[in-house]
Amino acid sequence: MQTVNANGAHIPALGFGTFRMPDADVHRILPQALKLGFRHVDTAQIYKNEQAVGEVIRQSGIPRDDIFLTTKVWVDRVGHDAFIASVDESLSKLQTDHVDLLLLHWPQSEMPLADRIGALNELRTAGKVKNIGVSNFSTALMAEAIKLSDAPIVNNQVEYHPYLDQTKVLMEARKTGMSVTAYYLMADGAVPKDEVLKEIGAKYKKTAAQVVLRWAVQQEDVIALSKTATESRLPENYDIFDFSLSPQEMEAVFALSRTDGRIVSPVHLAPEWD
């Protein structure tokens, strides 16, 4: 598996995401994903499936150190004690003594960013978290988080797909040694139906979805989250490392971006986007 190295973290470039995945689907699909070779698993407190994820990983027989596990702290964990307690609860549910990456899920919270970054650092010092990062942060907030943190910020997980230009975020990340994890890569179902992407895929006998996953991981310091509840699609999502897109094909995918491409932007959580 290709890895992305960011400020000391070694992150598998292709991850298995569990957003909107109920426990039954986690128990059904995640074991197959791990058996196939996925070694990067992404969850969050708000997904309410950490317990199921932890059970599957424990029962998989795969050494814990071989799996890169990410979770995220929700915005309502306000106050130092509540924040720390929520992570202890996540670790208990995940049946592990540490996560490989802990993210602040959204920037807006009643708990000041300095206090949340301080709590992340404390958890890292305690060994409960190997790496810390953020999610859905603008470039200005990325810079602020870096300034507030003693430990390196290794990742910003953001919406990223062919219809949303994230050049500014990517440039800021590269400038500071951070990585970017792309979620919503299928753009809410638009990608598999896109004629440009299907045409590129036909050349390699790949689907439009595989083209976009490949487009993501082929970019410097970008990690792709794939997600499916359909077992037959798992091999398709994983099988993206046996071909490369040409510079012209990469540009053709970038050219699909548009000014109204953002899909995820809850008013009470989102920052002022770049």
Identify whether 43 is part of a domain. yes
Answering whether pTM is above 0.85, one says: yes
pLDDT at 1: 79
pLDDT at 228: 92
Identify whether 100 is part of a domain. yes
Identify whether 213 is part of a domain. no
Identify whether 161 is part of a domain. yes
Coil, helix or strand at residue 198: helix
Identify whether 257 is part of a domain. no
Residue ranges for the known binding site for substrate are 105
Q: From the candidates 47, 160, 183, 184, which is the catalytic residue? A: 47
Show the domain range for 19: 3-186+220-233
224 vs 49: CA distance, rounded Å: 20
Residue ranges for the known binding site are 105
pLDDT at 267: 93
In the chain, the number of structural domains is: 1
Q: Which long-range contacts (CB under 8 A, 24 or more apart) does 241-248 make?
A: 241/1, 241/2, 241/14, 241/217, 243/204, 243/206, 243/214, 244/214, 244/218, 245/200, 245/211, 245/214, 245/215, 245/218
Asked if 163 is an active-site residue, the reply is no
Q: Are strands 3-6 and 9-12 parallel, antiparallel or unpaired?
A: antiparallel
How many CB atoms are closer than 10 A to CB 76?
A: 12
pLDDT at 126: 98
pLDDT at 260: 94
pLDDT tens, position by position, for the chain (274 residues)?
A: 799 999 999 999 999 999 999 999 999 999 999 999 999 999 999 999 999 999 999 999 999 999 999 999 999 999 999 999 999 999 999 999 999 999 999 999 999 999 999 999 999 999 999 999 999 999 999 999 999 999 999 999 999 999 999 999 999 999 999 999 999 999 999 999 999 999 999 999 999 999 999 999 999 999 999 999 999 899 999 999 999 999 999 999 999 999 999 999 999 999 999 9
Q: Which long-range contacts (CB under 8 A, 24 or more apart) does 27-30 make?
A: 27/52, 27/55, 27/56, 28/229, 28/231, 29/228, 29/229, 29/231, 29/234, 30/56, 30/57
Identify whether 109 is part of a domain. yes
Place of tokens 């490392």: 241
Identify whether 66 is part of a domain. yes
| CATH number of residue 108's parent domain | 3.20.20.100
Identify whether 241 is part of a domain. no
